[in-house]
Amino acid sequence: MVLTRYCQFESDRGQTYPKHQMINQDVQVHTSFSDGLNSIQEVVEAFIGAGIKSVVITDHAKGWKTKEDKTFEFFPNIERFEDYINQINFAKKKYGRFINILSGLEVEINIEGKPKLDQGVLDYTNKHGVKKYGLDVLLGSIHSESFEEDCHERNIDHSRKRNFLIENTLNLIKNKEIDVFAHPFQAVHGQFSSNFTQEETDLIIDTIIKEQLSGHKIFIEINGKRYPMYEQWSYNKYEKGELETHDVIFLHLYKMRGGKFVLGSDAHSIRGLTETDFSVLDRLSLKESEIFTFS
């Protein structure tokens, strides 16, 4: 079963996009509601044109600090977040005959396992008393920059950062609201220019499998974003590290334990849909049954 395919696609706006590699369900796509370039409608049309069966819209749940140390929010008020949900629901009704659309957020998880949320998301949740912020799918992530901010706020020096990153990772996995552990290697590559050790790998995979056996459906994302190349399997320069577990080995060990994957382009524009690399699927010899699809 071929999990990826190449195709020429054209939206109903008459725009033609180049050949690209794509998947049956993309669980991570960003729009202009956060740091993406295109609207929800434009993104959905691109996927329809590509013949993709399902997409999860996952804008960032919280903004970040600028280089000038100023903080901005993607969802500063409840109206902005309601507009996000309403536009996704509108797209579901308009395009539901052609593609399965799911609502979601990429949620940064702090060291203690708590989500980082803009005020609008918090206010919406409190007002309506909904679970998972009223959305279908939640991605949990740890970005190197955000983790660095957490360490700075907690006065964690460099010698202790590694332990705190592993704690952060385990707490993300244990957060029952999280459905996907997004780009799991980003922070360890960004912070330490290295991979998880064998001991860390065993601990992380043990924790994920235990959560899955308990009924918590959480899956590891294979992230296909080509730029930046922090998770590009064929170019990983730490492959031969004696004390480190290469990303592909990590994913293989997870697979051997019965873990399933989800696939995300991490696209921040329509053009980003063409800038993906899922060659690791072949290296892992994944079967269709080993890819989970949200419905």
- State how far the Cα of 29 lies from the Cα of 194, in Å rounded to an integer: 27
- The mean pLDDT of 251-260, rounded to a whole number, is 95
pLDDT at 235 over 50: no
- The mean pLDDT of 182-210, rounded to a whole number, is 93
Amino acid at 154: R
- State how far the Cα of 207 lies from the Cα of 209, in Å rounded to an integer: 6
Q: Which residue has the higher pLDDT, 284 or 83?
A: 83
Give kind and range of the element (H or E) at residue 140. Answer: strand 137-141
Q: Considering the domain 5-290 in this protein, what is its CATH number?
A: 3.20.20.140
Lowest mean pLDDT: which of 8-17, 46-55, 151-160, 285-294? 8-17
pLDDT at 3 over 60: no
Domain extents in the chain = 5-290
Q: Helices 158-174 and 144-153 sit at what angle, rounded to 10 degrees?
A: 110
pLDDT category at 283 given cuts 50, 70, 90 is: confident
Q: Give this prediction's pTM.
A: 0.88
Q: Which residue has the higher pLDDT, 244 or 141?
A: 141
* pLDDT in the model for residue 277: 81
Please say whether the beta carbons of 76 and 118 come within 8 A: yes
Residues 141-185: tens digit of each pLDDT: 999 999 999 999 999 999 999 999 999 999 999 999 999 999 999
Peptide bond between residue 184 and the one before it cis (omega within 30 degrees of 0): no
* pLDDT in the model for residue 66: 66
